Chains A and B, each alone.
Chain A
Amino acid sequence: MAGRMITLRLNGQERRVEVEDNETLLYVLRYKLKEMSVKSACWKGECGLCTVLMDGKPVKSCMVLAVEADGSDIVTATGLVKDGELSPIQKAFVEHGALQCGFCTPAFVVAAHHFLQKNPNPTREQVKEFLSGLICRCTGYAQIIDAIMDAAKYYRGEQKASP
């Protein structure tokens, strides 16, 4: 099978990679671009743990073919770190105990970041509805919701990100 070259920006860096037509973005991110912050627990669009931001929108990377991502901008949880500083949503997750085993956390973090950018004044109901495409088996979600409600103040610009 002849591969084809695609170009994408991964966490701000331009990357070129040869992919096959049937390879998913998840496969290429993890096994070709070595971006291990993208997890997976089902490989078929059910758990949401492979969620990344593609051109600013959350996608399940196992449901996107790598060739579809040609020319796109991809952001993962690692990409939210700026100059070694956690982003406000990441800090909120830490402070609220919004993670346990941590395997689903990168997906929840990028999804929450996108959600708060679009809706910095959410209700708990809206947060719950939005998160329902992702599975966390450890936390029972409540502290994740708390973290997102709390981090919203940064997205509203009420509080500066760095202390």
Chain B
Amino acid sequence: MRAPVLAVEELTKIYRLTDWRAAKKEIRATDGITFQLYRGQTLSIVGESGSGKSSLAKQLVGIEPPTSGRILINNQDLAKVARKERRKAFQKIRMVFQNPHSSLNPHARIGATLEEPLKINSKLDSKQRRELVAEVLKKVGLRAEHTQRFPHMFSGGQQQRIAIARALILDPEVIVADEPLSALDVSVQAQILNLLMRLQEELELSYVFISHDLGVVEHISDQVLVMYRGQMMEYGEVDQIFDAPKHPYTRKLLSSTPSYRNTVKILKKTHTREFKDKAAVSSGCPFAARCPYAKQQCIESRPEVHNIDGQLVSCHWPLESNAEG
């Protein structure tokens, strides 16, 4: 079997909070996340706010070190890389942020922003750098002339193109995109999504695509990983997840997402049990409090991961493919 470009093993990040009463709290932003991403493929991380998907992105690109677990790029453990090689290793995995407006330095011309990674990480001279910048700008659908402009002279969609260009300029293999569409207008979202797909084909990129929009996720992904409260709920091929969700949470997400293609579908009466995020780590399944199928066992013990035809489900009672929700 092919080796994955990016492999993540048991990635865990624990934040320890100390409040004024000196009571210590632990928040597990990600808890034992494992996945593999292959060349030219897209893995989507799906979850609601507070699910730890953004924390996962930060750990992948090296903004925050994980508490435990390993991140391997081309079988190279990022934590074990020697200090000197570290920068080089992280060139292979680059990030695109949610808000293009705040991710570009407002006082720097676009050209300077795009040349910056090259100045730091390569030995190219100024002419070579400019040529490379022009080339990358063309790839994302902008023109070389744009280098003289400042970020505020561009629309949100164009700013996101520039942010993508910055991620591309070091010739990475993996791009981590944290909600790259959600700050954009609807009619512009499609342009950026198409651009991401075109770049993937041309450059054989692999994406870790973080999103809450299941429609977009189904469109762009090869694999989907569903997270809840920092834990993996379900992980599998896109068809498996969307056609035959085995975890009650995935099913709840899918049934909550409105879809205009089947107009007869009526929103299911959902339980209004809502719980304000409780930081305490429960010993059981994190979804138990909201799960319509929860039993005593779900509150007491954390479910094991079941492997059903390659689809990983973290649930005591995985749903049958045709079970009614």
Binding between chains A and B: no
Residues on A lying within 8 angstroms of B by beta carbon are: none
Residues on B lying within 8 angstroms of A by beta carbon are: none
